[in-house]
Amino acid sequence: MTDFFVHELGVCETVNIGQDTRVWAFAHVLPGAVIGDDCNICDHVFIENDVVVGDRVTIKSGVQLWDGVRLADDVFVGPNVTFTNDRFPRSRQYPDTFPITRIDQGASLGGGSVILPGIHVGRGAMVGAGAVVTKDVPANAVVVGNPARIIGYGPSAEAPRAAQLPAVPQDLIGGAATIALRRADDLRGSLVSTELDDDLPFRPARYFTVFDVPTVDVRGAHAHRKCEQFLVSLSGSVTCVVDDGIQRQEIVLDRPDLGLYMPAMVWGTQYRYSANAVLGVFASLPYDSDDYIRDYETFLEARGLATSAPHMVELSS
């Protein structure tokens, strides 16, 4: 007697299938597939051999999981989502290996979306209905369109703008903070000054600027093991996400006299660059590639939070 359910009109050839999983009518699971516990595999789903599905995954009708697809726990796959695994398909011509397409824990793929081969959709991300995903999707991002572009980090209210925030330091999650800089305005123009030893939480060892970023692209999307940073918008506006693995906040930097302090071991992402945006960044340490954590799952592990799911908190003004 099995501890999973297969409808009388369904075909499940694998023995690697978890407890309380349900395979419904006209679904077909090939023998090499691995399916976790408490999954719901709806009508007219096809699952190939080199496929791994985690626990509590929902796969709605009309979905095909081809070789190379990996779905982590709690993933939702909407109706008629299309996975692909061959960048240059030809009839009866097969690549030596298929790229791995990875959908991380808690991510959702909206109905009719298309996922190109080898794509990585990060933990908690939301892919909108009909989106065509041609690039990796960062953790917690919300993407829509063709090609898919980031429109927010959900669940998220509209991020407060720096112009709406008080000109005093304000503590954020994970030890991050907004910090006001000295500003002088008169008939000759405006000036913002910074005393590096007094105004910043650290003595900078490096400075760089980010500019000419297409509005659809994302910068940052990493954490530092030791390096601290201070971000300030020299021109235009940039939306910044601060994430400690448990909570997440957004702030729009849109004036040069208020910056954002990012301590080490906080995940930072910048997006929604305006066309004229210039972001200045002070760093506490010289460049060191080993100091970067570029994978969100690795970041959570480093903080001892690999099984937790971040939620949004609002930034008070």
* Active-site entry in 7, 28, 44, 222: 222
Helices marked H in the chain — which ranges? 296-302
| Residue 28: active-site member | no
Structure tokens belonging to residue 126: 């939301």
Between the two ends of the chain, the Cα-to-Cα distance in Å is 60
Tell me how far apart the alpha carbons of residues 219 and 231 are, in angstroms, rounded to a whole number. 12
Which DSSP symbol is given to 221? Answer: E
Please name the residues in contact with 273: beta carbons below 8 A apart, sequence gap of 6 or more.
Answer: 213, 214, 215, 217, 219, 236, 237, 238, 279
One-letter identity of residue 67:
D
Tell me how far apart the alpha carbons of residues 49 and 30 are, in angstroms, rounded to a whole number. 5
Tell me how far apart the alpha carbons of residues 15 and 65 are, in angstroms, rounded to a whole number. 17
How many C-beta atoms lie closer than 10 Å to residue 177's C-beta?
Answer: 18
Tell me how far apart the alpha carbons of residues 275 and 287 are, in angstroms, rounded to a whole number. 27
Q: Any idea what the Cα angle at residue 32 is, between residues 31 and 34, rounded to 5°?
A: 105
Structure tokens belonging to residue 282: 């002070």
Tell me how far apart the alpha carbons of residues 290 and 108 are, in angstroms, rounded to a whole number. 31
Q: Provide the annotated active-site residues.
A: 222
